[in-house]
Amino acid sequence: MKFTKSILVLFVFLIASAFTTKTNKGYQIGDTIEDFKLKNIDDKQVSLSDYKDAKGFVIVFTCNHCPYSIAYEDRLIAIDQKYKKLGYPVIAINPNDPEVSKGDSFEAMQVRASEKGFTFPYLFDEGQKTYPKFGATKTPHVFIVSKQNMSVEYIGAIDNSSRNPDNVSEKYVEDAINSLLAGKKPTKTTTKAIGCSIKKL
């Protein structure tokens, strides 16, 4: 009897664990995302609904201090400048808790954006309520969303060379956007995000 109860308890635990793992993954390809409203570095609130003429969004979770994020800053600016006019603006979000990651305060974000000349909004995920919905785990971590159905079309890395832009041979984000602009689904919908772990309490 004790053995049977132990097996039953173990089975329930495994089922519960599997369910928890599944529900904590965040958005998957094809899922519909919820809009959000977060504070930009200019102190104004920004939401996706503000972009009336957009066809979609390149939502990237990034931060100030991570060397991977820093290595991608110029590439993100270039992507925004290239695709914003075609309907796919970059929306950057800092998911880190500034109490854990001192270099990621709102004030530090303002300084970094000014220094680099960000052409895109740089939003602060205050209270860390947005990134868990997406299931972001790294900085940077990209989610391309189509505005038509607010559906997730691509999740992962920006390209295949996290450190050196000269070694890039696959531009995952650009390839995905180009497919969407051509009315097609991206050939590659998921890649592994390479970066620093998101800092939380």
> In order along the chain (201 residues), what is the average pLDDT of each group of 10 residues?
44 40 74 98 98 98 96 98 98 97 95 97 97 98 96 98 95 98 97 96 81
Q: Are 186 and 179 in contact (CB under 8 A)?
A: yes
Does domain 27-197 correspond to CATH entry 1.10.3720.10? no
Pair of tokens at residue 79: 């992507």
| Predicted local distance difference test score (pLDDT) of residue 55 | 98
Q: Is 103 helix (H, G, I), strand (E, B) or coil?
A: helix
Look-up of token digits 């200019």 = 42
Instruction: Identify the bridge partners of residue 114 per DSSP, sorted by sequence position.
Output: none
Q: Are 77 and 116 in contact (CB under 8 A)?
A: yes
| Predicted local distance difference test score (pLDDT) of residue 201 | 81
| Predicted local distance difference test score (pLDDT) of residue 24 | 53
Pair of tokens at residue 89: 């603006």
The phi-psi region of residue 183 (left if phi > 0; otherwise alpha if psi is between -120 and 50; otherwise beta) is left
| Predicted local distance difference test score (pLDDT) of residue 25 | 85
| Predicted local distance difference test score (pLDDT) of residue 21 | 37
Cα–Cα distances in Å, from 74 out to 80, 81, 88, 113, 120?
10, 11, 17, 11, 12
| Predicted local distance difference test score (pLDDT) of residue 8 | 40
Instruction: Identify the bridge partners of residue 122 per DSSP, sorted by sequence position.
Output: 92
The CA distance from 61 to 157, in Å, is 11
